[in-house]
Chain A
Amino acid sequence: MAVKKDYKDQKLAERLRDRKYYIPDSNPEFIKDVEKIGRTAAHMCYQCGTCTGSCPSAPRSSYRIRLFMRKAILGLEEEALTDPDLWLCTTCYSCTDRCPRDLAPTDAIMAMRNLAFKRDIVPRNFLKTAQLIYQSGHGVPNNAANRVAREKLGLEAEPETTHKYPEYLPGIRKIMDHYRLKENADRILAEGE
Chain B
Amino acid sequence: MQTGYWRRVSETMSNRHQYAFFLGCIAPNRYPGIEAAAIKTSANVGIDLLPLKGASCCPAPGAFGSIDLNVWYAMAARNVVLAEQMKTDITLICNGCYKSIWEVNHKLKHNDELRDGVNEVLKEIDMEFKGTVDVWHLAELYYDPKIVGIKKLADSVTRPLTGAKIAVHYGCHLMKPAKERHFGDTENPMWIEELVAALGAEPVQYRNKMQCCGAGGGVRGYDIAHALDITNEKMINLQEVGADALTEVCPFCQLQYDRGQIEIEEKFGITWGLPILHYNELLGLAQGMSPDELALDLHAVSVEPFLKKIL
Question: CB within 8 Å of B: which residues of A?
Answer: 37, 56-57, 60-61, 87-94, 96-97, 102, 104, 106, 110-111, 113-114, 117, 122-123, 125-130, 133, 137-143, 146, 149-150, 152-155, 159-165, 167-168, 170-172, 174-176, 178-179, 181, 185
Beta-carbon contacts under 8 Å, B245-278 to A: none
Residues of B within 8 A of A57 (CB): 219, 226, 230
Instruction: Encode B27-41 as 1/0 by CB contact (under 8 A) with A.
Output: 011101101100000
Residues of B within 8 A of A140 (CB): 25-26, 29-30, 57
Task: Kindly specify which of B9-17, B58-66, B134-142, B144-152 makes contact with the partner chain.
Answer: B58-66
Instruction: State A106–B28 Cα separation when bound (angstroms).
Output: 29
Instruction: State A152–B66 Cα separation when bound (angstroms).
Output: 37
Instruction: State A160–B82 Cα separation when bound (angstroms).
Output: 12
Q: What would 9 A/B residue contacts be, using CB atoms closer than 8 Å?
A: A91-B216, A94-B210, A96-B177, A133-B75, A139-B63, A160-B55, A174-B125, A175-B75, A181-B68
CB within 8 Å: A-B pair count? 212
Residues of B within 8 A of A165 (CB): 53-54
Asked if A161 and B54 sit within 8 Å, CB to CB, the answer is: yes
Report if B311 contacts A (CB, 8 A): no
Asked if A106 and B56 sit within 8 Å, CB to CB, the answer is: no
Across the interface, A150 reaches (CB within 8 A) one of B32, B75, B212, namely: B32
Report if B242 contacts A (CB, 8 A): no
Known contacts A87-B218, A159-B35, A160-B51: does B69 contact A130 (CB below 8 Å)? no
Name the distance in Å between B57's Cβ and chain A's nearest Cβ. Answer: 4
Asked if B221 and A153 sit within 8 Å, CB to CB, the answer is: no
Asked if A175 and B78 sit within 8 Å, CB to CB, the answer is: yes
Known contacts A61-B226, A161-B23: does B221 contact A168 (CB below 8 Å)? no
Known contacts A60-B230, A139-B60, A172-B78: does B53 contact A94 (CB below 8 Å)? no
Instruction: State A106–B212 Cα separation when bound (angstroms).
Output: 14
Asked if A126 and B56 sit within 8 Å, CB to CB, the answer is: no
Instruction: State A96–B122 Cα separation when bound (angstroms).
Output: 31
Asked if B60 and A129 sit within 8 Å, CB to CB, the answer is: yes
Asked if B69 and A110 sit within 8 Å, CB to CB, the answer is: yes
Asked if A114 and B78 sit within 8 Å, CB to CB, the answer is: no
Asked if B29 and A123 sit within 8 Å, CB to CB, the answer is: no
Across the interface, B69 reaches (CB within 8 A) one of A37, A139, A168, A170, namely: A37
Asked if A160 and B177 sit within 8 Å, CB to CB, the answer is: no
Residues of B within 8 A of A56 (CB): 211-212, 214, 230, 233
Asked if A90 and B230 sit within 8 Å, CB to CB, the answer is: yes
Report if B188 contacts A (CB, 8 A): no
Instruction: Encode B196-231 as 1/0 by CB contact (under 8 A) with A.
Output: 000000000000001110111111011100110110
Instruction: State A47–B37 Cα separation when bound (angstroms).
Output: 47
Q: Which residue of B lies closest to A169 (CB)?
A: B56
Report if B124 contacts A (CB, 8 A): yes
Across the interface, A149 reaches (CB within 8 A) one of B51, B63, B75, B298, namely: B298
Residues of A within 8 A of B33 (CB): 153
Name the distance in Å between B98's Cβ and chain A's nearest Cβ. Answer: 12
Asked if A162 and B32 sit within 8 Å, CB to CB, the answer is: no
Asked if B74 and A178 sit within 8 Å, CB to CB, the answer is: yes
Instruction: State A123–B226 Cα separation when bound (angstroms).
Output: 15
Instruction: State A131–B120 Cα separation when bound (angstroms).
Output: 23
Asked if B67 and A113 sit within 8 Å, CB to CB, the answer is: yes
Asked if A122 and B25 sit within 8 Å, CB to CB, the answer is: no
Q: Which residue of B lies closest to A164 (CB)?
A: B53
Asked if B212 and A178 sit within 8 Å, CB to CB, the answer is: no
Residues of A within 8 A of B69 (CB): 37, 110-111, 114
